[in-house]
Amino acid sequence: MPKSPNELPMTVKMALENWDEGKLNQNLFGNAGQGVALPADVQLRLQNNALLPEDEGALRKANLTFYAEQCAQARDRIQSVAMEKQARLSEERAKAAQAEYKAFQDIPLGAKPPSPEAIQQFREQIGYTGKPSWEN
């Protein structure tokens, strides 16, 4: 019985990795299925069934391919949800920009000019006197 996957021919190794989502390979070569060589935080999350997507690399190094695939699938789901959200927000921004553009187009070219009172109020607001700055 081989003790490591390196003792197997490549075709047998690939067949074991793909059989039943990698469970057989994991059970044969995955550190007795216990994840012995895992970092402590990953080991704790594995025991509590609370793996994170970033645990995939450590799980693959320990030949725990089934759990690593679960992490990869979780990462892919998180990415797809984020992309869907980003696409939805982008679509909403595009619709808002189109509505703003349409509203601008609907304004008649000869729109009412501001009233003299509004002009005077604006001039007072910004401190405009009509004289050059060196004469003030």
Residue spans of the domains in the chain: they are 1-130
Q: What is the pTM of this model?
A: 0.52
Helix (H, G, I), strand (E, B) or coil at 64: coil
Low-confidence ranges of the chain (pLDDT < 70): 1-3, 5, 27, 30-36, 109-112, 136
- Average pLDDT over all residues of the chain: 83
Q: Whose CA is closest to 70, among 50, 47, 41, 43?
A: 50
pLDDT digits (tens, 9 = 90+) for 15-51: 877 777 777 777 677 654 444 578 889 989 988 989 9
For residue 123, what are the contacts with CB-CB under 8 A and spacing of at least 6? 129, 130
